[in-house]
Amino acid sequence: MNIIKVLAILVLIYVGYRIVTMFRRMKSQEVKAYRVDDAPKGEDLVQDPFCKTYVPKSQAYVKEIDGKPHYFCGKECFEKYLTEKK
């Protein structure tokens, strides 16, 4: 009979432990959603020489002019830049 009591107490302790860890996990996920520290690191911005807007470098329209790369927000700004430059 004593073994059954010990097993029942161990099962209750285990179930209580699982419930507590479940709530901690849920609470930590809620907090992480609003933490600034976990935000993805930004990438470098480049300025469009025609319209002067800033564009993420990975999304910029890149053309090499006079041996230097120039970054544009789109093909339209690149074409306008070329016509205005002439």
Same domain, 35 and 59: no
pTM of this prediction exceeds 0.85? no
Structural domain containing residue 73:
45-85
Position 86 scores a pLDDT of 63
Domains contained in the chain, number: 2
Position 28 scores a pLDDT of 58
d(CA 86, CA 83): 6
Same domain, 34 and 49: no
d(CA 70, CA 78): 9
Position 84 scores a pLDDT of 87
Same domain, 30 and 8: yes
Give the residue among 36, 38, 77 at the shortest CA–CA distance from 54: 77
d(CA 44, CA 57): 6
pLDDT in tens, the chain (86 residues): 689 999 999 999 999 999 988 888 776 555 554 444 444 467 788 999 999 999 888 889 999 988 999 999 889 999 998 898 76
